[in-house]
Amino acid sequence: MVAISTHKKQYQAVVGLAGHVDHGKTALIEALTGMITARPHEQQLGMTQDLGFAHFQDDDGNTIGVVDVPGHERYLRNMVAGVWHLNVLLLVVAADEGWMPMTTSHLDVAHAMGIEDIVVCINKRDKVNAEQLAEIEEQVLEQVMERSGLLPEIVTVSALKKDNIEALRQLLIETVQVNIARHKTVAPANSDDKTAVEQATAPLMYIDRVFVVNGIGTVLTGTLAQGQLAIGDKVRCQPSNLVGTVRSIQAYHQQLTSVSATCRVAVNVKGVGRKDIARGQLITGMDQHIALRDQCIVRLTKTATKLKVKKQRQVEVAMGTWHGTARLSYIPNTDLARLVFEKPIPLLFGQRLAMIQKGGSGLQHGAEVVWSDYIFGYQKRRLYDVLNNLPQQLQPESQRQMLLVLQGYFECHEADFKATEQQTFMAPFCFDNQWLTDISQQLDTLLGAGISMASAELCSRLRINDAVIELIMQRLKQQQKVHLSYGKWCVGQGDNEDDLPQDALDILHQIRQFGKAGLELNKVKIVGGKKWLRQLSHQKYITALDENIYFDMGVYLDLVKAVIADHQPHDRITMTDIKDRTELSRKYSIPLANRMEKDGWVKRDDDERIILKAWQ
């Protein structure tokens, strides 16, 4: 018997029924919930083709959703859509037929998708004697343990005669409660009280149906696998990137103002058209950072025994309610593989998926996503080693620890995040203290030789994200170890151009973009532009060749160097020499020569310029 806590908590959960075709799953759901999930055409065929939905309540009024998964091998992809979000799998086996091929396939898929709690229901027990029933129980126990390593709870019933259904109901309730307690995702059932939720996370829901209701609009249905949804929430549909507003919510035939995971829901979304969205898309919160990628690295968690040779192949990938084609390549000497999709899709760390034979129905691999970012060549060997040694049970913290080992930092957007004593948090990145110290020393070495470098150059030298470099340099600037001059970082204290007012910075960036073309006064569109030009000139960030032409000071000094670098004082140069050396037109070369004369570099003598000082 399953052990549960006597402390009562409200919750929501979803149970999925799987098993071989015609083993009585739909009849079992009717006996358990009083609801018929099979559609009329499915009743005529005698098999479930797509997902069916029902629900029942425990003795405390908590609602447990029930998903009827197709039993025929042709609908294996729909089976994946039904089990990706379950709390408990109810595996149905007919007593008069025993364990069948699709029972194996469904168990393999459920195990591949990370289902940890399995209840086996032996149906039609009225059709066999006690000895035969005991043999079936032994067979089922052996199969489940051999294929999954899990010890299942087993109950025998007769759905048609409604025999022992209450025992099944209680066993499901107890198993659900154990599952929820283990994952600590308890939340009030059908409640409008958000404060009662213990773990508040952003919403995540794969769409399984889309339809239009007259007078209401587009309705999306699916299982809310994590987080909460409330009327008025903005949601994003991935990968279409469409944004809509939740206008109404229905769960288990009740109109609600909010709902929490895990729960079957129908959501009316304003701003999203029926033709713009389809089954397989992912509903997320507006602030969730979910990568859209056309490839990823996965860790293989299950491999079909018939798959003897690991070679590159095309496979069908089922993930949530989405499925599509991908190219599978194995990474040698690891349990890792690369999947390349036909187009970018949303990918989450730890997300479970199933790989199915292309055009067939056999499960080839179960896997979980462990990496979806770009991989630089120098990273590969170390990355594969770290990924191959991730813990068996992946948690959000697993990804963070992996990133700290690989690159020394991770990105975090949690409002209440707290770094450990070994970490430093500079929003939105959390750094390993030792890594931060090492990088600071490398920067000191690079800049300590008297060489100034722009942020982009530092990124390239150190192979670090530009946003990360900017944070680190700003930290060193606050410690008065570096300063920014002419767009480059220098060692020591000094005036920092990034402390300029934003309008002045905008003009400075504009001048630098023009380079040797210079910025003409009539191209300055910012209010008070003349004032900012005077300030920038006074602070030596720019120089005015004349009243209308402005150059970045760095560009100006490069031009001066080009003119006089190989000359000595008292040498003479012509305007033609200046034009040729600077590659400037007459419009700019004459103002340049005049500016150089004002700055004491040259002296005019008729049509020539006399060098007054050498370049040092």
- For residue 47, pLDDT over 60 is answered with no
DSSP structure class, residue 331: P
Q: For residue 36, what pLDDT band results from cuts at 50, 70 and 90?
A: confident
Bridge partners for 244 per DSSP: 235
> What DSSP string runs through 549-604?
EEEEHHHHHHHHHHHHTT--TT-EEEHHHHHHHHT--HHHHHHHHHHHHHTTSEEE
- For residue 138, pLDDT over 90 is answered with yes
pLDDT digits 0-9 by tens, 205-228: 999 899 998 888 999 999 898 999
pLDDT at 303 (0 to 100) = 74
Domain boundary assignment for the chain: 13-183, 194-285, 292-392, 433-497, 500-611
E strand spans, 408-521: 409-411, 423-426, 429-432, 482-485, 488-491, 519-520
pLDDT at 9 (0 to 100) = 61
Q: Is 433-497 in the same CATH topology as 194-285? A: no
Q: 530 or 125: which carries more pLDDT confidence?
A: 125
- For residue 398, pLDDT over 80 is answered with yes
pLDDT at 2 (0 to 100) = 52
pLDDT at 174 (0 to 100) = 95
> Which two three-digit tokens encode residue 268?
């009316």
- For residue 50, pLDDT over 80 is answered with no
The whole-number average pLDDT for the span 40-46 is 37
Q: Where are the alpha helices (DSSP H) in 392-451?
A: 396-407, 433-448
Place of tokens 């009849």: 27
pLDDT at 105 (0 to 100) = 84
pLDDT at 400 (0 to 100) = 93
pLDDT digits 0-9 by tens, 175-186: 999 998 876 533
The whole-number average pLDDT for the span 425-438 is 95
| Average pLDDT value for the chain | 86
Supply the CATH classification number for the domain 433-497. 1.10.10.10
Q: Using DSSP, state whether 427 is helix, strand or coil.
A: coil
- For residue 49, pLDDT over 50 is answered with no
Q: What percentage of the chain reaches a pLDDT higher than 70? A: 90
Q: 304 or 194: which carries more pLDDT confidence?
A: 304
Residue 492, number of CB atoms within 10 A of its CB: 10
Read off the pTM. 0.74
Supply the CATH classification number for the domain 194-285. 2.40.30.10
**Integer Cα distance of 448 and 541 in angstroms:** 23
Q: For residue 199, what pLDDT band results from cuts at 50, 70 and 90?
A: very low
Q: Which of 91-100, 152-161, 442-451, 563-572 has the lowest mean pLDDT?
A: 442-451
pLDDT at 535 (0 to 100) = 86
- For residue 281, pLDDT over 60 is answered with yes
Contact call for residues 469 and 384 (beta carbons, < 8 A): no
The whole-number average pLDDT for the span 484-511 is 86
Q: For residue 305, what pLDDT band results from cuts at 50, 70 and 90?
A: low
pLDDT at 308 (0 to 100) = 61
pLDDT at 70 (0 to 100) = 66
Q: For residue 544, what pLDDT band results from cuts at 50, 70 and 90?
A: very high
pLDDT at 46 (0 to 100) = 38
Q: Which of 151-160, 234-243, 319-328, 499-508 has the lowest mean pLDDT?
A: 499-508
- Structurally, at CATH architecture level, domain 292-392 sits in Beta Barrel (2.40)
Please give the torsion angle defined by the CA atoms of residues 316, 320, 322 and 328, in that order, rounded to the nearest 10 degrees.
Answer: -30
- For residue 83, pLDDT over 60 is answered with yes
CA distances, 236 to each of 205, 287, 350 (Å): 11, 9, 21
H/E segment holding residue 56:
strand 52-57
Contact call for residues 300 and 328 (beta carbons, < 8 A): no
Q: 82 or 360: which carries more pLDDT confidence?
A: 360
pLDDT at 285 (0 to 100) = 93
pLDDT at 595 (0 to 100) = 93
pLDDT digits 0-9 by tens, 406-421: 999 999 888 788 999 9
pLDDT digits 0-9 by tens, 438-485: 999 999 998 987 788 989 999 999 999 899 999 999 999 999 999 988
CB under 8 Å to 294, separation ≥6 — which residues? 340, 341, 342, 343, 344, 345
Q: What percentage of the chain reaches a pLDDT higher than 90? A: 56
Q: 183-205 burial, b for 16+ CB within 10 Å, e for fewer?
A: eebbbbbbbeeeeebeeebbbbb
pLDDT at 185 (0 to 100) = 37
CB under 8 Å to 395, separation ≥6 — which residues? 350
- For residue 158, pLDDT over 80 is answered with yes
H/E segment holding residue 208:
strand 204-213
| Homologous superfamily of domain range 13-183 | P-loop containing nucleotide triphosphate hydrolases (3.40.50.300)
E strand spans, 261-419: 263-270, 282-285, 291-303, 313-319, 322-330, 336-347, 352-357, 363-371, 409-411
pLDDT at 575 (0 to 100) = 93
Q: For residue 162, what pLDDT band results from cuts at 50, 70 and 90?
A: very high
Q: Which of 73-87, 130-144, 294-308, 520-534 has the lowest mean pLDDT?
A: 73-87
Q: Using DSSP, state whether 541 is helix, strand or coil.
A: coil
**Pick from 19, 26, 13: which is nearest to 52 by CA?**
26
Bridge partners for 395 per DSSP: none
pLDDT digits 0-9 by tens, 242-267: 999 999 999 988 899 999 988 889 99
